[in-house]
């Protein structure tokens, strides 16, 4: 189980209001968020709008980066590019071997570009995917640019 891990609980308590819903207790939310499998973890803003989700059990060294990435994607979609760059960069810097790191690097490039309209910022971030995660699908996605 991931939740008894002190780093995970600390991360959740610092960054989220945690909400636990049993699949047997609230059919309205199951329908609203299209839940068909558990565990399903969603990152919502304070209005309840969904910004990120993932499924299945993960060890703590994958679980925390997923949450950090979810926060980064949320603020990116809210056009808060300074915060999104910070969050997404922290995923790559702190958890470079996590499964979500290549995607975080991709969106970090997008965030940097949106903040500065500097194509070099985008390409520099994407070049790092080619160098550090050459076998990821995210390297395939950016390969057209090089």
Partner 1 sequence: MLEYALSYLIVFTLVPFATTLIADAKDKLSTIPWENTFEEAVKKAKEAGKPILLDFFSPT
Chain positions contacting partner 1, by CB under 8 A? 3-6, 9-10, 12-13, 15-24, 26, 29-30, 33, 35, 38-48, 51, 67, 71, 74
Where on the phi/psi map is residue 92: left (φ > 0), alpha (ψ -120 to 50), or beta? alpha
Nearer of residues 4 and 117 to partner 1, judged by Cβ: 4
Nearer of residues 4 and 97 to partner 1, judged by Cβ: 4
> Least distance in Å: CB of 94 to partner 1?
19
d(CA 145, CA 123): 8
d(CA 34, CA 125): 34
Helix axes 119-132, 101-116, angle to 10 degrees: 170
Nearer of residues 63 and 126 to partner 1, judged by Cβ: 63
> Least distance in Å: CB of 95 to partner 1?
18
């Amino acid at each position: 189980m991931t939740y008894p891990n002190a780093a995970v609980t600390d991360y959740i308590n610092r960054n989220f209001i945690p909400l636990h819903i049993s699949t047997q207790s609230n059919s309205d939310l199951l329908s609203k968020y299209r839940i068909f499998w558990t565990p399903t973890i969603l990152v919502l803003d304070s209005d309840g709008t969904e910004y990120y989700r993932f499924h299945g059990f993960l060890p703590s060294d994958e679980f925390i980066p997923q949450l950090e990435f979810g926060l980064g994607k949320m603020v990116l979609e809210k056009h808060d590019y300074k915060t999104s760059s910070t969050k997404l960069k922290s995923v790559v810097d702190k958890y470079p071997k996590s499964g979500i790191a290549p995607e975080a690097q991709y969106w970090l490039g997008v965030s940097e570009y949106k903040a500065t309209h500097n194509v070099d910022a985008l390409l520099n971030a994407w070049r790092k995917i080619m160098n550090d995660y050459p076998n990821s699908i995210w390297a395939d996605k950016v390969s057209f640019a090089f």
